[in-house]
A and B are shown apart, each in its own frame.
Chain A
């Protein structure tokens, strides 16, 4: 089938399926399962039996058949799925028991029961997708990272990885990125946000600096590769950096092969992209500062620099931290730029690219997974911090 047509069909099936699911499940719940009316004792008993057949017996039977039909009976995964199946059946039993109470049921009882079930109808597709596509992989990757090539279980992959020079280089470079990129992006973003704050053409300036956000990292790599382009001494330079360098009397350089400085040239690309993000957030924060604090400082005779550093920056510190951590997350996952510009050669390897190398070039899923776990480990403090903040805010 033509991919475009396939895409159209998928949109229709996806959208139609979603809408249909939400509509039908709510309809079933409100009209058939839990109608908002009094249900007599005899009818309640009938409903209970029917409900238990459809919601409990049929799924339980399907699970049982699936388990019995499996080729690998009594192996560890099979026992795992047996346990999962048992848990599901138990949950369904509790559900039908809860939904179809015995005795005469009032309309209020039915409505309240329906309202207890409904959130889960709304949440189910999202929970299944999140569970399958983000939560399960974390544990599966952890499991894979602990299985060595020869099948033994342990930390062999991690030991191998830390023994490899390329991995230590990637780790070191990632730390370097983690320090430079968030700091520079936030600093540039803050400076631009402050400078454009009261400028008549500030919005145009901000828009232009923000624009790289829309450009793919691959596109940005091409853009910057032209900047770093190098040609022989006797030919005119077509890369801006070398043109300036030569005009100042230097020899043309292969900037991307110039370890360890080439890392900085790669970082420049990400800084260029992320500054717009930092600027937008910090600009909004600066606008949110109460005027009185600044006015009071001016009355007290503070200069513009004092106002900026002593009055404004402290007040938007929490936003600066947010920007910093958000860019940190991007940096930890940086892949496209390195992949497109140097592919980790000349001492520019980073974790995400190392992981890709191991997974899809060397086909070593164990070590690849171990590298992914290192990225996860580095992200975890931010994860915990975010969750704690979100919970605090909710209270």
Chain B
């Protein structure tokens, strides 16, 4: 827009760079948690997650086996071994034999230890200590190594949080609770709202404008107001805390947006189609089911995504209407909040739990982004 008529603005590079900076800034925190969910607890607490993406250098001290492990090979006494002892893998960057000079030698070089013999250490950690005389003493030679370990990731956290039957904090149950809350809470309001929206968009009756105004007003009523009266109401009619209550509550709270979005969309459908159908003798019910519903699919999808994301991510409504003292029906958001309190520093657990709960919304988001954007554009009151 700023470079019409072939005039290329000098700001182009600045624009590219600043957008890149903003994007990185925005995804950086999420990436951090995502990377952390694939690291072990030790790794997380020893280094920042941003270092996990690159090879790390670590210093360690290794003590070679003592004289009792020596073997004699053609007149030479030899002690062999590996400083990694088969546990970790890595590459030796440099090494030394005294704490004052830990980077005295490169891999493959041989250190002359005088009367203690000669020591050769290879990049893969294997070493060979040889001497013409027999080794004595009960303590082995110390080797100071600086090793670079490649990035290392594990799926163990996910296995632990999802499939370990002994883990009382596993997310599987909460995952299914969340799913159980979400699906009816998404489907039922759509149906109720679609009929109401059709009436508000295409039927003439006294009080229509007033009802639309009411819906617009109810769009912004904070659901905080509804908590106590509805909890009392649910207790009075005997459903108490449970799935039924949370389904009803989500249905009620989702309706204004559903009616508003769908009415606006339906009102924009071409009048001819509906009038032609009426002339051909279709009833309102037939028109609605056969014409309006299929044509309104984009709006229905938009609202479905909204309601899905909102009910999946909800914490407050679930805490008030669903989760009783037994905690059997706890949803993922609630469980994560609890873990934030009890397992504050155990980032491998928190990160994994958070990503288990975020996986589905993020998938839905990337798959149906088009409808989400469309819904947002239609849903914000102009």
Q: Which residue of the partner chain, among A7, A224, A391, contacts B213 with CB atoms under 8 Å? A: A391
A253 within 8 A of B: no
Residues of B within 8 A of A195 (CB): 15, 18-19, 22
Number of interface residues of B (CB under 8 A): 118
Q: Which residue of the partner chain, among B9, B183, B226, B313, contacts A7 with CB atoms under 8 Å? A: B183
Interface residues of A in 191-225 (CB under 8 A from B): 191-192, 195-199, 202, 205, 207-219, 221-225
B225 within 8 A of A: yes
Q: How far is the CA of A137 from the CA of B44 in the complex (A)?
A: 47
Residues of A within 8 A of B369 (CB): 207, 210
B211 within 8 A of A: yes
B158 within 8 A of A: no
Main secondary structure of the interface of B (DSSP, over half): helix
**Segment among B90-98, B103-111, B114-122, B329-337 that sits at the interface with chain A:** B329-337
Q: Taking the nearest CB of chain A, how far is it from the CB of B161, in angstroms? A: 13
Asked if B44 and A199 sit within 8 Å, CB to CB, the answer is: no
Residues of B within 8 A of A209 (CB): 22-23, 26
B102 within 8 A of A: no
**Segment among A19-27, A99-107, A161-169, A173-181 that sits at the interface with chain B:** A19-27
Q: How far is the CA of A298 from the CA of B6 in the complex (A)?
A: 12
Q: Taking the nearest CB of chain A, how far is it from the CB of B17, in angstroms? A: 10
A360 within 8 A of B: yes
Task: Output the nearest chain A residue to B33 by Cβ-Cβ distance.
Answer: A223
Asked if B192 and A129 sit within 8 Å, CB to CB, the answer is: yes
Q: Taking the nearest CB of chain B, how far is it from the CB of A299, in angstroms? A: 9
Q: Which residue of the partner chain, among B45, B177, B225, contacts A3 with CB atoms under 8 Å? A: B177
Asked if B192 and A386 sit within 8 Å, CB to CB, the answer is: no
Residues of B within 8 A of A158 (CB): none
Asked if B216 and A226 sit within 8 Å, CB to CB, the answer is: no
Q: Taking the nearest CB of chain B, how far is it from the CB of A197, in angstroms? A: 6
Q: Taking the nearest CB of chain A, how far is it from the CB of B10, in angstroms? A: 10
Task: Output the nearest chain B residue to A139 by Cβ-Cβ distance.
Answer: B229
Q: Which residue of the partner chain, among A126, A133, A243, A325, contacts B253 with CB atoms under 8 Å? A: A133
Asked if A237 and B195 sit within 8 Å, CB to CB, the answer is: no
Residues of B within 8 A of A307 (CB): 1-2
B364 within 8 A of A: yes
Q: How far is the CA of A214 from the CA of B364 in the complex (A)?
A: 8
Asked if B23 and A208 sit within 8 Å, CB to CB, the answer is: yes
Known pairs A26-B285, A211-B365; A141 contacts B216 (CB<8 A): no
Asked if B283 and A30 sit within 8 Å, CB to CB, the answer is: yes
A135 within 8 A of B: yes
Known pairs A126-B259, A129-B255, A281-B380; A116 contacts B205 (CB<8 A): yes
Asked if B183 and A120 sit within 8 Å, CB to CB, the answer is: no
Asked if B226 and A222 sit within 8 Å, CB to CB, the answer is: no
Q: How far is the CA of A48 from the CA of B214 in the complex (A)?
A: 34
Can you show 30 pairs from A to B with CB atoms below 8 A apart? A3-B176, A10-B244, A26-B284, A118-B199, A126-B195, A130-B218, A133-B226, A205-B23, A210-B369, A212-B26, A219-B354, A223-B29, A223-B32, A224-B29, A226-B351, A240-B29, A280-B377, A281-B376, A298-B2, A304-B9, A304-B11, A322-B382, A332-B222, A336-B315, A352-B224, A372-B222, A372-B228, A383-B220, A387-B217, A389-B381
For the complex of A and B, list the 9 residue pairs with the smallest distance between their C-beta atoms, beginning with the closest: A133-B252, A216-B313, A214-B365, A126-B196, A140-B229, A122-B199, A137-B226, A137-B229, A222-B354
Q: CB within 8 Å of B: which residues of A? A: 3-4, 6-7, 10-11, 14-15, 18-19, 22-23, 26, 30, 115-116, 118-120, 122-123, 125-127, 129-130, 132-138, 140-141, 144, 188, 191-192, 195-199, 202, 205, 207-219, 221-227, 229, 236-240, 243, 272, 275, 277, 280-281, 284, 291, 294-295, 298, 304, 307, 318, 322-323, 325-326, 329, 332-333, 335-336, 339-341, 352, 355-356, 359-360, 365, 368-369, 372-373, 375-376, 379, 382-383, 386-387, 389-391, 393-394
